[in-house]
Structure 1
């Protein structure tokens, strides 16, 4: 059966959910630079909770986009690194990040204009 992203039960929607998850994207972009430990990631990504980071890391590992490596120390050190599959996704997402950075002013201006029109109409 050919994937159909518009079909409610198509598994490609799960992949799109991952791509649309800001935390997953930010984690992948960071890990593309270098492997990192949990607390390094948490400090680097402002606003992410410990619980959310843990959940997203598990999801990305399950999807084959990152690798979890436990190092035998006391306490155990865990390091996360991006996989080859994760690199392909990070490469695909990079232009979206660039677009967001380049068009931020225009989007914010459009939002202010819309909000002002809504306020006048109320």
Structure 2
């Protein structure tokens, strides 16, 4: 799993673009990388563009592990918005599973999208 973090594309939100094959270990490394960067601040809005990411056979156990990573870093992540952009209904369901596993257990507000314009519009809403 590879990722690119862009703090300069827009002043309103951070863009994280992923590719490769999703794994709980990759998710952990990505999370730790993002929150340890000097540009990062808790409560930032983030667009996670997972349209090039292969979720393979990521099931409940993998999503539970990814959710645990989020909970472990919750204070550093903060309560900002996270728009998760995916490219297929199957990936929508997989990422929705992650959302349900973390909802009410982390500060961040997350929504899953198949449409980039809708994701950005939601991120920019007050």
- The TM-score normalised by the length of structure 1 is 0.27
Report the structure number with the largest CA radius of gyration.
1
Higher relative contact order (CA 8 A, sep 6+): 2
**Structure with more helix by fraction:** 1
**Structure with more strand by fraction:** 2
- The TM-score normalised by the length of structure 2 is 0.26
